[in-house]
Amino acid sequence: MLSLSVALLLVLASSPILAAPAQPGKGHTNMFRGEYDPPKDPKHQVFYERLKKEKALERFSVVLSAIRLPKPLLLKFASCDGISNAWYEPKDETVTFCYEYVEQIEQGSHGSSAKGIPEDVAWTGAVAFVLLHETSHALFDLLKVPILGREEDAADSVAALSMLRAGEGIARRVLGGAAWMYLHDSKGRMPDDSDFSDVHGLDSQRFYNVLCMAYGSNRASFQGMVDKGYLPKDRAEGCADEFRQVAFAVKKLIAPSIDEQVAQRVKAAHKARWERKPTDTAAGSPPK
């Protein structure tokens, strides 16, 4: 669970994520809290114990501690009465990640090894990406970040940028898991009107968006995505511009909400782990 719990900070230290540029310095650091509700379904006990034992949310909160927020933000894993989902609720400043969704991701990770993504990487990476995605929604709200376009796309972009700025090793693990999740879900059924009208993009679109962000961040490191046909060449041509667009927005909207001294301390403590590349080279490749 290390990649879930230390996923975000290098981004914040080197190119902070969300902020209110007109009011630099407002808010407080160390405003993130983690909570694990006991699961209602006995089969989710294994996830509850694993996440709690590894202090996933506590470590994640430390990683986020450099962001100044006007109010505390609660991150929690909880039972959702059979609903598989994760969301941010503005009314109580809480990000909820359902154990049902954790289970769905775990089930979806089965068989990923045959496609080039070890199952633990697929599961951990997908959970980390979803948590970052939902935390991005919270930051948009609490920091009053203006958004052009769909908020879901913006949250995906911020989550992907976070991983890519955190170091190539952790980026390959987490984005590999996210890519597998979207690819797996896209093959589960044919889309219908409910998918086309949804606030989220189609899973297949989100899959290609993740690959494009990675390729756009460093063509040399991720050239294999294009050479092997995972990312179409026509899309790849514009990925550097797509990455720069997101990075510029993040730089303009976030830096004033980051305490640089706190960010540098956390960065120094975790830098070696974030930059370490996967020992299994297949973990750095998109799913086949």
Tell me the DSSP string of 213-259.
HHHHH-HHHHHHHHHTTSS-HHHHTTHHHHHHHHHHHHHHHHGGGB-
d(CA 175, CA 188): 20
Cβ–Cβ under 8 Å, residues 222 and 235: no
Q: Which domain holds residue 156?
A: 2-284
Residues ≥6 apart with Cβ < 8 Å to 167: 10, 271, 274, 275, 276
- Number of compact structural domains in the chain: 1
If we measure between CA atoms, which residue out of 233, 239, 95 comes closest to residue 157? 239
Q: Tens-digit pLDDT profile for the chain (288 aa)? A: 333 433 443 343 333 343 334 344 578 989 999 999 999 999 999 999 999 998 989 988 888 888 899 999 999 999 999 999 999 999 999 999 999 999 999 998 887 776 778 888 888 888 989 999 999 999 999 999 999 899 999 999 998 988 887 777 777 878 888 888 888 888 777 888 888 888 998 989 999 999 999 999 999 999 999 999 999 999 999 999 999 999 999 888 867 787 888 878 877 776 655 555 544 333 345 555
d(CA 106, CA 66): 31
